A and B are shown apart, each in its own frame.
Chain A
């Protein structure tokens, strides 16, 4: 049973436009969410997080929105840059045993 779902395997956007990456979850016990970025042949690196007590968190070009009633979060990248081309993983945490559950990832391609 996949508790964190990233249903779109890929996304292609033009440089300078907005990228919106979506993530859905099924476990209502998740209360902390993170986004990771991964380049080929490297380990994932942390991008941004959000606690369930918030509905928005910003860090520069990156904003994460959380809709608890819909069990949905999204990552907005504005403006998108070619260097943003990578795989993006959504992850969720219940706090129990500190285990993170990851989605399958979305491959973002930003066209120059």
Chain B
């Protein structure tokens, strides 16, 4: 059972470049989330989705975009990468109010 799969695991971007962080889950969960973790700052919600075709902003959405065309996939797009986006990104999913399942994370550096 794969759970939540994120790719890539590591990436280095130059300032101004763009990229997409991929996230897919095979648990048929309705809810999917993107968090970023900065040192000593916990997990901050970037965007979330309550189902295919429905997305909404979290606490720190600036500089990011998402889409949810299927139940399984929830990609996160970074446009015009900035050093402030250097972080570890986690995708997560759950059904209703049950526990959240996390992917293993993407470590992104913007130089």
Contacts and interface: CB of A to CB of B under 8 A. Distances in A.
A89 B102 contact: no
A interface residue count range (under 10 / 10 to 19 / 20 to 34 / 35 or more): 20 to 34
A101 B99 CA distance: 13
Nearest to B3: A43
Interface stretch (B39-47, B65-73, B74-82): B39-47
A100 B4 CA distance: 17
A46 B43 contact: no
B94 A43 contact: no
A34 B41 contact: no
A109 B97 CA distance: 30
A32 interface: yes
B97 A9 contact: no
Contacts of A49: 99
Interface in A41-65: 41-46, 49
Interface of B: 4, 31, 33, 35, 40-45, 48, 50, 56, 58, 90, 92, 94, 96-97, 99-105
29 contacts: A9-B40, A34-B99, A41-B104, A42-B104, A43-B4, A43-B90, A43-B102, A43-B103, A44-B43, A44-B102, A45-B102, A46-B100, A46-B101, A89-B42, A93-B97, A95-B97, A97-B56, A98-B48, A98-B50, A98-B94, A99-B33, A99-B48, A100-B100, A101-B45, A102-B42, A102-B43, A103-B42, A104-B41, A104-B42
